[in-house]
Structure formats: structure tokens, C-alpha cells
């Protein structure tokens, strides 16, 4: 078997594991092959592991079975990159660096089976039942309806509707255990377009922190125009972004320390945003 065909079979295996379906169109779109060639690849995969998939005549595609067992090794970390950046990102990521490089140590390592269940649920529009560990509530059983993946720079989250609390929230992937997909349609109020925080777009104005001695350095580093960096981002992820970049969100830019190189000039834009307890300085305000 050629390396090229192995790559296509790995893609079939990946789609079934993390999205739950595969069609000839998926193969032709990804690899630019003909439909007969895609049919041969699917037949080859079925010969290797017939219990992994079955043909759905209504959907006109192959779907994952309950007895699915992956042929190839997939990691949860790679899967998140592939899902969010495209399948070709994997080969790029595994290339040997042409220069010496050091990447951040990743403490959060979501389990592969967790990533697989969550991504299938998102793709198929399903809910999942799961064990979830949190620092505030400990171990609980939840039913959530995931719809988006979020990388906050430190760990992976999934944005989902929480049936227990009847609200949209973020769940850390590494804290999810024993997820099982719940068959059946989800309710209208559980769908992503009902998540106000996700759909609200903030327009933020970041400027050099007034207490830092060399504002021109900040202006140059962030390619500011007229001394301002204007950004648009979802309210649901605002707290993560502001904490990651140590943006002083206080009204009077009173935070001390060299880590605060940026100040949120229009801090009032954060009014009504949830989870701002992690935004530096803003939780001290009484706005």
C-alpha cells in the first residue's frame, strides 16, 4: 500500500472517529481524487475493518458504528488541531523543525476518546452525557449540548448548553470523563444561535498602558494605528483573551507591574459580559 493511500485511509479513520461519518465527496474534496478512486479507498477500508462503518442510504454516506475501533493511532491534541485548522495541519505539525525551537509545555491533555465524542456531538448536533470535574462542584453528572471548540491559550474548552443549569457555559475538555452521545434531536433553546454571549461581538480598543515608560514599543509590537489596536471578538471568550494578554481593564489603569503593557481604553464595552472575574482589574469595578 502506498503512502498516499495510507494517508487517505487514515483520513477515513479520522472522520469516522471524530465526526462519525465519511462520504466519497469528503475524499474527493480533500485529496482531489476521482469518485471511482474514492470508492476504492472506502472499499479497502471496509475490507480492513468492516465492523467500523455502515452505509446510511438516507444520508448517502458511511456512518460510524457502535463497534468502531480505530485502525490508526490518533491523539486528542492532534485531533483538535485538525478539527480547527484543517486536516493538512497534521503533516505540517509533525515536520521536523528546520531551526531549534521550544514549544510551551502543555499541562492539559484531553483524552482522545473525549475529544472524539465531543467533536462527533458537535458535527452531528447531539447532546452528550458525561462525568465532569470542576473546582467549585467536584464530580457531577451532566448533560451538555456542545457546539464549538475554544482554545484559550492554556487549555481547550468546549462551549455548550448545560441542561443541568439551563444555560450556556464553557467546559474544560480535560475535565470531561466517560462521555456518551445521546441520540435524538436537541431543543431549539439549546442551539448555538440562542447563546447570547457567543453571538455578541465586542469591539475593543487596546492602547499602551499609561504607566509604562515606552509606549512606542507597544505600538510597534502590536502594529497599532494611531496608537490604538482595535479588535473584534466574541463576548464568550473576552475574559480569556484579556487575561492571556494581561490587559488592564480597570477604568483608571491602576494595575501595577510590567506584565500590564496594554490598557483597555473602552473598558465600558465589557458591561454585561460573563466570566469577567478573570479579566485583570475589571472585577474590581462597580460599573
pLDDT at 286: 47
The residue among 99 and 220 whose pLDDT is bigger is 220
Residues 6+ apart with CB under 8 A from 134: 140, 175
Question: Would you list the domain boundaries of the chain?
Answer: 3-74, 112-192, 200-284
Separation between Cα atoms, residue 179 and residue 141, nearest integer Å = 10
Same fold, 3-74 and 112-192: no
> In CATH, what number does 112-192 get?
2.30.30
Per the CB < 8 A criterion, the answer to whether 110 and 158 are in contact is: no
Separation between Cα atoms, residue 130 and residue 18, nearest integer Å = 17
Per the CB < 8 A criterion, the answer to whether 119 and 156 are in contact is: no
Residues 6+ apart with CB under 8 A from 226: none
Q: CA separation (Å) from 116 to 22, 142, 179, 239? A: 15, 18, 9, 27
pLDDT at 55: 95
pLDDT tier, 83 (very low <50, low <70, confident <90, very high otherwise):
confident
Q: Is the pLDDT of residue 97 over 70?
A: no
Grid cell, residue 76, equals 486528542
Percent of the chain scoring above 90 in pLDDT: 80
Cα dihedral: 270, 276, 282, 284 (round 10): 130
Listed residue (205, 130, 232, 225) closest to 172, CA to CA: 130
Separation between Cα atoms, residue 68 and residue 98, nearest integer Å = 38
Q: Given 3-state DSSP classes, what are the helix, strand and coil percentages for the chain, each rounded to the nearest 5?
A: 40, 25, 35
The C-alpha cell 472524539 sits at: 116
Q: CA separation (Å) from 229 to 13, 112, 269? A: 43, 38, 15
Helices (H), 111-228: 112-124, 196-199, 215-221
Helix (H) or strand (E) holding 264: strand 262-264
Return the top range by mean pLDDT from 76-85, 97-106, 250-259: 250-259
pLDDT at 109: 85
> In CATH, what number does 3-74 get?
1.10.10.10
Grouping H, G, I as helix, E, B as strand and the rest as coil, residue 1 is coil
The pLDDT tens digits of the residues spanning 157-187 come to: 999 999 999 999 999 999 999 999 999 999 9
What is the model's pTM?
0.86
Amino acid at each position: 500500500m502506498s503512502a498516499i493511500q495510507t494517508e487517505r485511509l487514515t483520513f477515513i479513520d479520522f472522520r469516522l472517529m471524530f465526526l462519525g461519518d465519511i462520504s466519497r465527496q469528503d475524499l474527493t474534496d480533500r485529496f482531489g481524487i476521482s469518485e471511482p478512486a474514492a470508492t476504492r479507498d472506502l472499499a479497502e477500508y471496509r475490507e480492513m475493518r468492516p465492523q467500523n462503518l455502515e452505509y446510511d442510504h438516507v444520508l448517502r454516506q458511511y456512518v460510524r458504528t457502535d463497534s468502531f475501533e480505530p485502525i490508526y493511532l490518533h491523539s486528542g491534541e492532534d485531533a483538535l488541531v485538525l478539527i480547527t485548522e484543517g486536516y493538512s495541519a497534521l503533516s505540517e505539525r509533525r515536520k521536523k523543525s528546520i531551526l531549534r525551537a521550544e514549544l510551551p509545555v502543555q499541562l492539559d491533555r484531553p483524552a482522545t476518546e473525549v475529544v472524539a465524542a465531543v467533536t462527533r456531538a458537535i458535527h452531528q448536533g447531539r447532546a452528550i452525557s458525561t462525568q465532569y470535574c470542576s473546582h467549585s462542584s467536584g464530580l457531577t453528572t451532566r448533560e451538555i449540548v456542545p457546539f464549538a471548540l475554544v482554545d484559550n491559550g492554556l487549555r481547550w474548552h468546549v462551549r455548550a448548553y448545560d441542561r443541568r443549569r439551563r444555560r450556556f457555559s464553557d467546559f474544560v475538555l480535560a475535565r470531561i470523563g466517560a462521555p456518551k452521545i445521546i441520540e435524538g434531536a436537541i431543543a431549539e433553546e439549546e442551539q448555538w444561535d440562542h447563546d447570547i454571549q457567543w453571538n455578541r461581538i465586542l469591539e475593543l480598543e487596546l492602547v499602551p498602558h499609561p504607566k509604562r515608560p515606552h509606549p512606542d514599543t507597544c505600538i510597534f509590537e502590536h502594529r497599532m494605528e494611531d496608537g490604538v489596536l482595535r479588535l473584534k471578538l466574541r463576548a464568550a471568550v473576552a475574559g480569556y483573551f484579556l487575561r492571556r494578554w494581561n490587559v488592564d481593564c480597570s477604568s483608571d489603569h491602576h494595575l501595577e507591574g510590567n506584565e500590564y503593557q496594554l490598557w483597555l481604553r473602552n473598558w465600558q464595552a465589557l458591561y454585561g459580559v460573563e466570566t469577567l472575574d478573570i479579566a485583570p482589574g475589571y472585577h474590581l469595578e462597580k460599573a
